[in-house]
Structure 1
Amino acid sequence: MSRLLDVQLFISVFVTLFVIMDPPGTVPVFLALTSSMTQHQRKRAARQAIAVSFGVILGFAFFGQQVLTYLHVTLPALQAAGGLLLLLIAMELLTGKLEDPTPVPGGAVNVAMVPLGTPLLAGPGAIVATMVYAQQVDGTKQWAAVLLGLVLVHACLYLSMRFADVVNRVLGSSGTSLISRIAGLLLAAIAVQLLAEAVLTFARQV
């Protein structure tokens, strides 16, 4: 295996992204955002969210630095934008506005793309971490390690959302509603933390 990929880099990528993206922690938020969906819709939302998250992070791994440089956007600015968006979603969860999500044309569920796919899964932390690892790559073995770590973390994320139905059946409608409020509070805290870190980074650069 060590001949095909950099095992140490793979472990580092997997552990870092697993901690940042937190597959078990996505379950209550996923249930909150998909509370009024059928089981089939929830499965489709999970697949869409994983596809969006993987595509966004992979795109930033290859082209992120060039895009940000071209747009004159710094990483703290990206982090602050993600924090603001998450804060808006958190407020809607806390007030119950997301308990009846509106489907978009074609049967796709809008919450699977935003905020679930990004910035919840493919958030500033995961994007920045992947960009940092991508900048360290200097060969095929390193790229294989980064890509495999990224794939396995998304596999864990999919499994956590795929079996969220089990949690949903155990909790019932009242429990899911309670989880929605708790998830909103946690998201608000994450959003404020992202904004605070972005502001501190900006302050250090002045």
Structure 2
Amino acid sequence: MSGLDFQQFLSAFIVLFAVIDIIGSIPIILDLKQKGRSVNALKATLIAFALLIGFFYAGDMMLRLFQVDIASFAVAGAFVIFLMSLEMILDIEIFKNTGPIKEATLVPLVFPLLAGAGAFTTLLSLRAEYAPINIVLALILNMVWVFIVLKLTDRIERMLGKGGIYVIRKFFGIILLAISARLFTANITSLIEQFQALK
């Protein structure tokens, strides 16, 4: 689990691609631009990457501080990813952004669209299964993709159309649902074994 593995990298990339869901965020980005709220693609990408990579490494220390192991966090993360998948599949809003900051590049673009609770949770949940190098490389490639989409938002929206974006969002909603189920089943067993060992 410690070395570079293409299958792990690809799996981590797909999971993060679905969670970050920059394609699904295109209508929101277009709406922000129409309201005169400028979006700086490079600034948004760099800040989001810094937040995510920082949490990826520091988050583990935070868990140890609260005496929470990765398996426990992965199970909790499975529930968050499950709720995110329901949002995408059922067109409902579970995670509401009610913060006071109105500047578009930081809020809502960087947080919570790019570097939100779901992405933070997913990164640490993936650590329960994949080598860190594969997750970091997958995150870097996702951030490159995010930058490209932010730069070409109008063109991608015209190319895919509202229907295409809608279908992609539904598809990745189902992928996330399956991922949440796999994360839960893969880690709940070790938690049960730990609980039984305490008896």
Mapped partners of 1:69, 1:32: distance in 2:
34
Superposed CA RMSD: 3.4
TM-score (norm 1): 0.66
Residue deviations 1:123-173 (CA, integer Å, cap 9, x gap): 41147645xx6xxxxxxxxxxxx6xx7765443121122223465442111
1:72 counterpart SS class: coil
Mapped partners of 1:150, 1:190: distance in 2:
15
Counterpart in the other structure of 1:78: 73
Mark the CA change 1:171 to 1:192 in structure 2 (over 3 Å): closer, same or farther: same
**Are 1:179 and 2:168 counterparts?**
yes
4+ long deviations beyond 6 Å: none
Counterpart in the other structure of 1:52: 51
Counterpart in the other structure of 2:90: 95
- Report percent identity of matched pairs: 14
Gaps of 5+ in 1: 1-8, 134-145
**Are 1:170 and 2:197 counterparts?**
no
Structure 1 or 2: larger helix share?
A: 1
Gaps of 5+ in 2: none
Mark the CA change 1:48 to 1:16 in structure 2 (over 3 Å): closer, same or farther: farther
TM-score (norm 2): 0.68
Residue deviations 1:32-56 (CA, integer Å, cap 9, x gap): 2443213764836544432221111
8 Å contact kept, 1:91–1:184? yes
What is the count of residue pairs matched by the alignment? 173
Counterpart in the other structure of 1:124: 125
**Are 1:199 and 2:194 counterparts?**
no
Letter matched to residue 126 of structure 2: G
8 Å contact kept, 2:9–2:138? yes
Letter matched to residue 164 of structure 2: G
